[in-house]
Structure 1
Amino acid sequence: MSASEQRVLVVIPTYNERAALPGTLRRLRTSVPAAHVLIADDASPDGTGQWADGAAERDDHVHVLHRAGKEGLGPAYLAGFAWGLERGYDVLVEMDADASHRPEQLPRLLDAVAEGADLVIGSRWVPGGRVHDWPLRRLVLSRGANLYAGMLMGLEVRDATAGFRAFRASLLRRLVEQQVASQGYCFQVDMTRRARDLGADIREVPIDFDERAEGASKMSSAIVREALVKVTAWGLGHRAQQVLGALGYPGRGPTRGETP
């Protein structure tokens, strides 16, 4: 299926993104006019959901999923994926509401899916990828987190924490059948390792990542702690499986292609 034939749904989770969302949606609808957009709003008190309802009334390619409250990035994406899979979309995309992911670069991800990839990651850390206007602290945190996750879990991915992604629906159906319980930004690492364990074709394409110009970042110390604890646990489990396999006990844990 060519990129132009794909039925694409871009899932955008929101919480208090009233200032940033209009510009992001405008750029997205201009860049990939055939794509549909699902705004998954976690009952934003700033009126994001109400603004999104108005946008959906004016544009039949925009849809809104109202959620009961702020439950985290992972649950918002899983709810959006379920909505899209029920409606038969071929490719489902993750994208931030604040335009830190450039909508104009989405065709790069969709082209890679059309070429055969199951999961395409818009990567900051492959050749050609760039981060703009980040302080040194955030650069070190992001690069360090990706190196730690990659080394501990054997992920052959440069940017496992990236949030600009395109999933082929056939892979995503298998992923959402699993008990994915990650709340914050470690959700991206979780989905990457699960896709790897299912034998998915994972590719990275370079993107530009821009610091948000409007609204407030959702990153917190609690999110960082969750990611550190879970990535460490997953990594130790992965290493234990490798040791058991080397000792001749491959049946002691899930292997490539099985549900982890």
Structure 2
Amino acid sequence: MSVLVIIPTYNESENLEKIVSRVHAANPDVHVLVADDNSPDGTGKLADKLADKDERVKVMHRAGKEGLGKAYLAGFAWGIEHDYDVICEMDADGSHRPEDFPALLKALVEQDADLVLGSRYVPGGKTVGWPKRREILSKGGNTWVRLVTGMRLADATGGYRLFRRETLEKIDLASVASAGYTFQVDLAWRTVRSGLKVVEVPITFVERELGASKMSGNIVAEALWRTTVWGTKYRLKRLVGKK
């Protein structure tokens, strides 16, 4: 089974080499695709140096900062084009621990899942280093997502996940226009609505130690608003259909 781990980067020169090393320590057989959005701090050049030393490391240089969703969509397209069986989303900052990766991959195989979510909010999952306010915001956001979409997922907003290639091919990536926090909910919901199997595996989410977080309250608020609109439209369409 060929596996590609996509790591989007923007100003992650302090973290990149460490996270790639940890990925390969956890699973030496996986390939890593660094999707760099023309980082001013030289992350892209560092990625090239890593790729020169290790054929398991691939680099995608993007024109500029377009957001997490665009970077992942480009990475998905690259992974599908190169026939990887499994494609993984992982942050560069270490918050998604590569040490948890084998458990996610095991669940994908043994439970015959189409999508595996690394979940902070199922039994055994946890967050480390978060202020209480951020934890409340995250849990509240996931509760709201469940209410407005009907998805029975504990952590639909998390960004540590494994897709089968066939899953990505079935959920119409060409029509995805969401980004960031909303992007993760969008892909999970598309998978659920397609009748595919989603499994959640507990992970430990660790707050980044180096570099600056790209997350903000405005991003979360926009995501919740967009999710509400999606859920409302979906429910209205179902009601009209019943009539």
Aligning the two structures, in what range does the TM-score lie when normalised by the shorter sequence? Answer: over 0.9
Q: 2:215 matched to which residue of 1? A: 219
Please state if 1:192 is matched with 2:188: yes
Cα RMSD of the aligned pairs, angstroms, is: 1.1
Match of 2:235 among 233, 239, 243: 239
Deviates more, 1:71-80 or 1:174-183: 174-183
Match of 2:147 among 146, 151, 166: 151
Aligned residues: 242
SS of the aligned residue for 1:209 comes to: strand
8 Å CA contact retained: 2:36, 2:61: yes
Give the distance between the partners of 2:125 and 2:48, measured in 1 at CA.
34
SS of the aligned residue for 2:92 comes to: coil
Q: 1:40 matched to which residue of 2? A: 35
Amino acid at match of 2:72: Y
Q: 2:18 matched to which residue of 1? A: 23
TM-aligned CA deviation for residue 133 of structure 1: 1.1
> What's the TM-score, normalizing by structure 2?
0.97
In structure 2, stretches of 5+ residues that fail to align are: none
TM-aligned CA deviation for residue 203 of structure 1: 0.4
> What's the TM-score, normalizing by structure 1?
0.91
8 Å CA contact retained: 1:27, 1:104: yes
Give the % identical residues: 53
Match of 2:136 among 140, 146, 151: 140
Amino acid at match of 1:19: E
Q: 1:124 matched to which residue of 2? A: 120
Give 4+ residue runs of structure 1 displaced > 3 Å after superposition. Answer: none
Give the distance between the partners of 1:99 and 1:145, measured in 2 at CA.
22
Q: Matches of residues 27-176 of structure 1 in structure 2 within 5 Å?
A: 27-115=22-110, 116-176=112-172
Give the distance between the partners of 1:199 and 1:223, measured in 2 at CA.
29
* Deviation by residue 1:174-231 (Cα, 9 ceiling, x = unmatched): 2244400012111000001100111110000000000101110001344223302211
SS of the aligned residue for 2:51 comes to: helix
Give the distance between the partners of 2:152 and 2:16, measured in 1 at CA.
33
